[in-house]
Amino acid sequence: MRNYTTQMDAARKGIITPEMKTVAAKEYRTEEEIRDLVAKGQVAICANKLHTCIDPNGVGSMLRTKINVNLGVSRDCKDYNIEMEKVMAAVNMGAEAIMDLSSHGNTQPFRRKLTSECPAMIGTVPVYDSVIHYQRDLATLTAKDFIDVVRLHAEDGVDFVTLHCGITRKTIEQIRKHKRKMNIVSRGGSLVFAWMCMTGEENPFYEYYDEILDICREYDVTISLGDACRPGCLADGSDVCQIEELVRLGELTKRAWEKDVQVMVEGPGHMPMDQIEANMKMQQTICMGAPFYVLGPIVTDIAPGYDHITSAIGGAIAAASGAAFLCYVTPAEHLALPNVDDVKQGIIASKIAAHAADIAKKIPHARDIDDRMGDARRNLDWDAQWECALDPETAKRIRDERKPEHEDTCSMCGKFCAVRSMNKALNGEYIDIL
């Protein structure tokens, strides 16, 4: 039997867990460094005790930036096996976390399948599942019903749960008073808000936070403190609703840490580029270095169909400025349920943002693969280029579709290829262009 409850509890007792060892090896850090960061809450190792097939990862601003992919069974895709194939494809493309946002039918079997077969961190949003699980109208659910679903997810082996604990009845008046352009765009946040409006009661995830902490401590479920008031358009960025909730999330972070429960804090959202760095720095101070998990930030509102790009811009800046964890955004965001290709585009855009930020943050060895790509390009060694490429199939397909006349170049420049000219010039060779 292990002589600790959570990773944080172990770290504080000076125990280096197997999960910490794995994280240390992956991140080129000493085990002691990781233990210390987990003890301080600056790294979360989201690993439910019952998720035994997990390949653990650490989430923290000083570690490699992680990405999350949202999937789940829906009315349109009810087949567990097909959805599981998407999950494993996402993991193979580099997703460190899968959030199961299943919204149809009996959600438990798929959730259990995830925690018994998938090596990525598994996250859920219990408030979504409450309506589905009980198959009852939102207004008829009780505070106890919600807490029971949190327990159910913990028992099913979920590694982290998004809980919108940061809004209260006061928020109702605040949202009315401040006349935000987009009010609340967090799906879970809007459900909690709607439930409070209909029942007249306090937010159960806030009111019964201590009970939730006890559950999370027992299974080592990391709480991802949801940001109900994340801005839903540029105009609402960094407004008082958002920042007041952040302050409350800081208080809740402290309360979780007092019970050795690991925490991540969720963040914006839609936001002008020039506000991103300030938001990251503010979260780091207010939440005492707890890992920041951001959705976006989406840096312009006018690009539906391309929000994987708007959020790659924002996500890269966020991660370079302190965010630890990026939620992918697909081209279908704001428009439709993403299809298989949207999922792929979203993952690649997020990986680009995360990797670019890791290089900027000087994460150990992050740039090694870029340097190998540089060598491969100088040598016009196309096979070596494919080995370094994030998506070699796509890159190879583009080149092969438009075959170059000269095997060593590509059809973009042909014999005007700068690399070819330079290699010849530096070798003292004659350069033919025509």
**Which residue type occupies 203?**
N
Q: Binding pattern to a second copy, positions 192-221, x when CB under 8 A? A: -xx--xx-----------------------
Q: Which is nearer to a second copy, 46 or 348 (CB)?
A: 348
Per the CB < 8 A criterion, the answer to whether 239 and 231 are in contact is yes
Distances 213 to 2, 12, 117, 331 between C-alpha atoms, Å: 20, 17, 26, 36
3-state secondary structure 126-182: HHHHHHHHHCCCHHHCCHHHHHHHHHHHHHCCCCEEEECCCCCHHHHHHHHHHCCCC
Q: Which is nearer to a second copy, 94 or 119 (CB)?
A: 94
**Among the listed residues 46, 31, 76, 63, the one whose alpha carbon sits nearest the alpha carbon of residue 364:** 63
Q: Which is nearer to a second copy, 108 or 183 (CB)?
A: 183
> Which 141-180 positions form the footprint of a second copy (CB under 8 A)?
175-176
The set of residues, in sequence order, having a beta carbon less than 8 Å from that of 121 and lying 6+ positions away, is 46, 47, 54, 57, 68, 96, 97, 98, 159, 160
Q: Which is nearer to a second copy, 252 or 312 (CB)?
A: 312
Per the CB < 8 A criterion, the answer to whether 391 and 351 are in contact is no
Determine which residue in the list 337, 340, 364, 406 makes contact with a second copy, applying CB under 8 A.
337
- What minimum distance in Å lies between the beta carbon of 178 and a second copy? 12
Looking at 52-60, 218-226, 287-295, 363-371, which segment touches a second copy (CB under 8 A)?
A: 363-371
> Which 112-141 positions form the footprint of a second copy (CB under 8 A)?
128, 131, 135-139
What is the number of alpha carbons within 13 Å of residue 216 lying toward its C-beta?
34
**Among the listed residues 99, 92, 100, 27, the one whose alpha carbon sits nearest the alpha carbon of residue 58:** 27
**Among the listed residues 346, 317, 253, 341, the one whose alpha carbon sits nearest the alpha carbon of residue 291:** 253
Determine which residue in the list 108, 238, 334, 380 makes contact with a second copy, applying CB under 8 A.
334
> Which 269-298 positions form the footprint of a second copy (CB under 8 A)?
272-274
> Which 214-253 positions form the footprint of a second copy (CB under 8 A)?
232-236
> Which 364-403 positions form the footprint of a second copy (CB under 8 A)?
367, 369-371, 373-375, 377-378, 385, 388-391, 394-395, 397-399, 401-402
- What minimum distance in Å lies between the beta carbon of 373 and a second copy? 4
- What minimum distance in Å lies between the beta carbon of 50 and a second copy? 28
Determine which residue in the list 108, 174, 199, 339 makes contact with a second copy, applying CB under 8 A.
339
Q: How far apart are the first and last CA of the chain?
A: 74
Residue 14: Cβ-neighbour burial (10 angstroms; 0-12, 13-18, 19+): exposed
Q: Which is nearer to a second copy, 54 or 225 (CB)?
A: 225
Determine which residue in the list 173, 258, 407, 432 makes contact with a second copy, applying CB under 8 A.
432
**Among the listed residues 6, 13, 58, 14, the one whose alpha carbon sits nearest the alpha carbon of residue 259:** 6
How many helices (DSSP H) and strands (DSSP E) are in the chain? 19, 10
331 is an interface residue for a second copy by CB under 8 A = yes
- What minimum distance in Å lies between the beta carbon of 422 and a second copy? 4
Cα separation, 228 vs 115, whole angstroms: 27
Cα separation, 341 vs 101, whole angstroms: 18
- What minimum distance in Å lies between the beta carbon of 115 and a second copy? 23
- What minimum distance in Å lies between the beta carbon of 56 and a second copy? 25
Looking at 29-37, 45-53, 85-93, 189-197, which segment touches a second copy (CB under 8 A)?
A: 189-197
416 is an interface residue for a second copy by CB under 8 A = yes
> Which 32-71 positions form the footprint of a second copy (CB under 8 A)?
none
Helix or strand holding residue 265 (H, E): strand 263-267
Q: Binding pattern to a second copy, positions 74-93, x when CB under 8 A? A: -xx-----------------
- What minimum distance in Å lies between the beta carbon of 242 and a second copy? 15
- What minimum distance in Å lies between the beta carbon of 296 and a second copy? 12
